[in-house]
Amino acid sequence: MEFESEAKVRVSVPEIMFGVIADDAEFFATNKNRMCNQIFAYYSNLTEIHPQEINLKASRTLQFSLNQENLDRFAAVCDSLQVANKAEYFRQVLYLYCNQPRYLRERILFHDNVLLIEESIKARRKLRIRYKDSYRIIEPYLLVKSDGETRNYLFCYCEKRQEYCNYRLMNFHAVATMRNRMVEHYDSEYINQIRQNFDSFLSYGKVVKVRLSADGSQILKRNITHRPKLLEQSGDVYTFECSILKAQLYFSQFMKDAEILEPLELRAWFKNSFAKVIELYQDTTN
C-alpha cells in the first residue's frame, strides 16, 4: 500500500486507551500529536506485531500527523510488515503503549534520553543536561522507578549542587554524553544501598523522630502516599527512616497531631512554618 504521502493518521481506539493517552499528555506536559509520534518512533523497529483483539464498542477517534522523519519510517514499516490497514496498524501500536505501566510509558516517550543515560552509566561518563531551566553536569549512577511504578528517577551526583540527588526523567530536556569526562564520586557501596533501599527523597540512612497523638497514629495508618519507613516505636514516639524534605512534605498534613523531635533543624523548620501560619490567621486586614 502507498501511505508515504499521507501524514495524517485517524484511528478509532477504545475509550480507556484514549483516556490513557490524554492523561499521559497532561502528566508529561506534552501534546497528543508529539506523543503519538514518539510512541510510533519507539515501536517502528518491531519486526512483527502480534495482533490483539480490541473492543471498539466504546471508542473515540484519535487524530495526529506524522512528522517527516516518522513518515519516512512508516514507509519502511509498510514494506517490512506489509501493512494492509493503516488505522489498524496504529491501533495495535497504541495498544502496546497503553498496556504498559506508567513508568515504562515514560521510558518510551523519553527513549532517546534513556539510551544516552544508560550508555553513560555503563561507561561511567558524565552527562551534560538541561534540567528544567538550567544546565548541569552530573554523574549518572542509577535509573530507577518509584515504588508506585509511576515515575523514573536518575540517581546521580550533581556538580552544581555538589551532592547526590534524584532527578525526574521527564524533566530532562537535553542530554549529552561527555566523552572525555569520567565520573569522580562513584561509591559502589553507597550506590548499592540506594538501589536496595530506593526512595525518591533519598531517605536511606536519615532518621526523623516524631511524637504522634492518638489521632496522629490514625493519620499515619491512613495516609500512605510518601509515608516514611517506620524503624522503631516507643510509646507515642516514632522513629522513621526519612529525609528532611520528605518529612516536610508528609508531616505537614498532621498539624497539631505530630510533634517533630529530631533532627533539631527540622523541628525549627516546623516551628517557624507554623508561626507564619499563626501570623497569617491573626492578620485581620482581609
What are the residue ranges spanned by the domains of the chain?
8-99, 111-196, 207-282
- What pLDDT is recorded for position 4? 47
CATH code at 111-196: 2.30.30
* Domain at 207-282: CATH architecture: 2-Layer Sandwich (3.30)
Statement: 8-99 belongs to CATH 1.10.1220: yes
Nearest C-alpha neighbor of 21 from the set 97, 72, 135: 97
What is residue 5's predicted lDDT score, i.e. its pLDDT? 55
Cell 506489509 belongs to 82
Burial class (CB in 10 A: 0-12, 13-18, 19+), 146: middle
Domains 111-196 and 207-282 share a fold: no
Which segments of the chain have a pLDDT < 50? 1-4
Q: What is the pLDDT of residue 21?
A: 97
